[in-house]
Amino acid sequence: MASEIERKFLVTGDAWRLAATGERIRQGYVWADEARSLRVRIAGEHAFLTLKGARNGCSRREYEYEIPLTDACEMMATMCDGPLIEKTRYTLVEGGFEWVIDVFDGENAGLVVAEIELDREDEEVDLPAWAGCEVTSEPRYLNANLVARPYRLWTVAERTGGDRPIAAAHDFA
C-alpha cells in the first residue's frame, strides 16, 4: 500500500527562488470527492495517472502510474472537468528535506503553496522563513478543490484566512 504524508504551507516572499528549479505542470481530475480522486498530470514530457484516497490528518493513500503522454492529453481534453490546474512546480532542499513550491497560473494565479512529504506524521521539521501559515487541514487548498472553486473566485477573507482561523506554521512544528 502506498501512503503519502504531506503538509502544506502558504508561501511568503521570494527568498526560496534562489535555490529552486522549476517544471511546468498541467493536471485535471476525472473525478474528485471527499473519499477519493483520480488525477491526470502532465509534467514536462511525462504523464501520470494518480488515485488518491481520503485524507486522514496529513496522510492518505496514493497510487501513481506513468502513462503515455498522448493518452494523458486525450484524457484531459475529453474526461477532466475544467479548469485544468496550471502551475510551475519548483523543488529545493531546505533543512534536509525536499520541498516543492507550486506557483499557480490560469484560474488560480496568485496562489503559492509549499508542500513537504514526510516519513511519519509526527516527524519534526524546522520550517524555513518563507513557510507561512499551515493549510494542511484546509480543503480549499487541495488541487481537486481548486478546479471546482478556483483561487480567483475566493473572497479576501478566504485568501487571508479571515473566514476561519488558520494556525500559524509554528503551531504545528
Top CATH class, 3-171: mainly beta
For the chain, the first-to-last Cα distance in angstroms comes to 27
Q: What is the pLDDT of residues 49-64, one digit of tens each?
A: 999 999 898 999 999 9
Strand partners, 134: 9
Would you say 8 and 136 are in contact if contact means Cβ atoms under 8 Å apart?
yes
Active-site residue, 29 included:
yes
- pLDDT on residue 163: 60
State mean pLDDT over 97-125: 96
- Choosing from 29, 90, 141, 151, the catalytic residue is 29
**Is residue 160 very low, low, confident or very high in pLDDT (cuts 50, 70, 90)?**
confident
Q: What is the pTM of this model?
A: 0.90
The torsion angle over the Cα atoms of residues 131, 168, 170 and 116, rounded to 10 degrees, is -40
State mean pLDDT over 77-90: 96
- pLDDT on residue 15: 93
